[in-house]
Structure 1
Amino acid sequence: MIDKTLLTVGPEVSLRDALVSLDRSGRQVVFVEDASGRLIGAVSDGDIRRGLLSGASLDDLVTRVMNIAPATVPPTATQEDVDALKGQRGIRIVAVVDDDHRIVDVVGEGEHIATPLTTPVVLMAGGRGQRLYPITKDIPKPLVPVGDIPMIDIILGRLRDQGFRRVHVSVNHLGHLIEEHLGDGERLGLDITYLHETAPLGTAGALAQLKGETDSELVVMNADLLTNVDLRRMLGFHRRTDASATIGVREYGFEIPFGVVRREGDLVTSLAEKPHHQELVSAGIYVLEPHALASLEVDEYCDMPTLLARLIDDGRPVGAFEIHEEWIDVGRPEDLERARRAWERSIR
């Protein structure tokens, strides 16, 4: 979040003082706020130069040269929205303003929007992590360290950096250790609560506890995924498609290690040596509208494919959002090693 004192001036400020603020901010622009803190304009060094060339003096008020229609986006904007606006206006910085037109953040060149979102995230952390046994014998998989940091801390840190603040964590196997580690989330800058599974409920069953508890869409994510996917962009995609649910998908390629023979009756029609196939697979990340939870019952097992199939059968639209960023499903020891190498590279 920004330090507004470096980026805002009042309408009574002179052009000379505005230049001082511009130099101090290092942002090529300062925003002009009225006495109540509402955004009324923006001034760049170019605005001041053009004003001086047209007869203004450095003692004139900043309102003489300010742009009265600065580029702004709401807090719900996605990175895609911000980048599109920058391209349309040919600018490097965008102000994020609330409903009262007060600045809550700015997004400069090379920066990503991370204004706090009200959309809650559900991390599914109740699995037994059997493929990582014996590592997970006495520790739940989300607490397995990647480098020196538990996997779930990396995931939560990335959620926080993208602007998410409310997180529900579903727990079952060794769940008390996860609760002891995370607490209420204050140390991570998050508000964390827990969905307790009395028995394994699948990848969607715990969501029944949230029926009627939210009027916002939910982001649902497995707690063993390390990815740089822009979830704000996924949210924007979901909203534009007006879907009941959106599945994060990615391409998965595999090679059949033999020559493939196709035939009609007893006759061979074609041969392919070790053909390569591409399929779209679920990435374990979803966005669900509140009504998508209607068929779930508390303490009843349900996996995510079953829930999504119900929506499709009911004629509800389900979208597919392609993920191209780094994505590691930490399910096997070799995946954990790959995640550790990726984390070391990111630190370097």
Structure 2
Amino acid sequence: MKNNIDHLRITPNASMHYALQVIDKGAVQIALVVDEVGKLLGTLTDGDIRRGLLKGLSLESSVESIYYRTPTVAMVTDTNEAILQIALRKKLHQIPIINEEGKVVALREIDDLVQPSQKSNKVVLMAGGLGKRLGDLTRNTPKPMLNVGNKPILQTIIESFSKSGYTSIVLSVNYLSHKIENYFGDGSNFGVTIEYVHETERMGTAGALSLMRNMLSEPFFVMNADLLTNVDFEKLHQFHIMQNPVATMAVREYDFQVPYGVVNIEDDRVTSIIEKPVHKFFVSAGIYMLSPAVLEYVPDGHFFDMPSLFDKLIQEGQYASSFPIHEYWLDIGRMSDFERANDEFNGVF
């Protein structure tokens, strides 16, 4: 029970950026939206903010339009057993406790009581790429084994998942796979268990999943093994559960500025000129959470990448969701990315 919740309180006019800081510093995955006298108006989670970003809001927008106005609450007079039953029925991780005046006085956390810290969901890391764009660096070393911050990129990824409780790792390997296997072994030296799947030929970011059908029985992560990010994987997992899609793709915003004035024309008439407009897109971040049902859409023994898988799911009428990330993210594909990663590593990890 958290009785000191002052640091979790925000007002409806708080910015989404400030709310994220409250949620992250509070370490309980929630902010409590209150009025001027402390009466509970609603709750706000990381998922609410990400959905707001997908709707076109910015981090400077207020939380007024996105916070949840009818949260499940418990009274100060409720027993622990009663609160636990409410949480189990509603699949909640925490419940605000209010008094008779409707003022929030505490927050009851449920996670420690109903779920273990370690999760059984598997983490599939695609570590078989050639890394040709990095030239001599990958001539004798697979790209995931390049050192950034004095340790392999792949080690940083595995440690990040382990810190979130995901310790069952599957490595899909190909190029110079023996160097990866010799370094990590069965994973016991890194606090995880590692299984290896060998691609005898390049199968793409989704094709290799056809080799793992008997290994994946619950929602699982897939991630490219050449990424550096401090994304909270547990939040991605929770988002996937709450949205209940067959597949979730982590996406990040990409801005592109046209270096010229754009002229809008109807017939031969100039209707407007927009000087150097900025276009915003969401692009794939190379991180996914998939339900086992997607495996039936993955062909056997063929090259098949993630965009093709998502296209197929969409064509078949399956629900695929997006999880916008605002945290640090870097794809180490070129020499400049590798140099940048080493410059920034200590300030992020």
Q: State the TM-score, normalized to the length of structure 2.
A: 0.69
Q: Distance in 1 between matches of 2:172 and 2:252?
A: 25
Distance in 2 separating the partners of 1:231 and 1:344: 20
Q: How does 1:90-169 map to 2 (within 5 A)?
A: 90-91=106-107, 96-98=112-114, 115-169=117-171
Query: Is 1:208 matched up with 2:210?
Result: yes
How far the C-alpha of 1:214 sits from its partner, in A, is 2.5
CA–CA distance in 2 between the matches of 1:139 and 1:95?
A: 41
Distance between the aligned counterparts of 1:223 and 1:168, measured in 2? 11
Q: Does 1:182 pair with 2:180?
A: no
Distance 1:134 1:259, change over 3 A: farther
State how far apart, in whole Å, the 1-side matches of 2:226 and 2:95 are: 32
Answer yes or no: is the 8 Å Cα contact 1:308–1:318 preserved in 2.
yes
Contact kept? 1:71, 1:95, Cα under 8 Å = no
In 2, distance between residues paired with 1:86 and 1:278? 41
Determine the structure 1 residue equivalent to 2:265.
263
Partner-residue secondary structure (3-state), 1:146: coil
Match of 1:176, SS state, is helix
Residue among 239, 252, 269 paired with 2:254: 252
The equivalent of 1:11 in structure 2 is none
Instruction: Flag structure 1 segments of 5+ consecutive residues without an equivalent.
Output: 1-66, 105-114
Match of residue 53 from structure 1: none
Q: 2:118, 2:315 → 1: CA distance?
A: 35
Q: CA deviation at 1:149?
A: 0.8
Aligned mate of 2:292, from 279, 290, 293:
290
Query: Matches of 2:111 and 2:288 in 1, distance apart?
Result: 29
- TM-aligned CA distance change 1:257 to 1:216, over 3 Å: same
What TM-score does the superposition give when structure 1 sets the normalisation length? 0.70
Q: Which runs of 4+ in 1 moved over 3 A?
A: 67-73, 80-89, 91-95
Give the SS at the match of 1:169. strand
- Tell me if structure 2 keeps the 8 A contact 1:220–1:286: yes
Deviation of residue 83 (structure 1)? Answer: 6.3
1:299 Cα deviation after fit: 2.4
RMSD: 2.6
Identity %: 39
Per-residue deviation, 1:147: 1.9
Per the alignment, residue 281 of structure 1 pairs with 283
1:172 aligns with: 174
Residue pair 1:198, 1:299 contacting (<8 A) in 2 also: no
**Distance apart, 1:270 and its partner CA:** 2.0
Partner of 2:345: 343
Q: Distance in 2 between matches of 1:230 and 1:175?
A: 28
Which residue identity does 1:167 align to in structure 2?
A: I
What displacement does 1:346 show? 3.7
| Structure 1 residues 83 and 137: CA distance shift in structure 2, 3 A | farther
User: Does the residue aligned with 1:203 lie in a helix, a strand or coil?
Assistant: helix
For structure 2, the residue ranges without an aligned partner over 5 or more in a row are: 1-78, 99-103
Aligned residues: 263
SS at 2:300 equivalent: coil
**Residue 318 of structure 1, CA deviation:** 0.2
- Structure 1 residues 233 and 222, CA gap change in structure 2 (3 angstroms): same
Contact persistence 1:256–1:274 (CA under 8 A): yes
Deviation at 1:86, TM superposition (A): 8.6
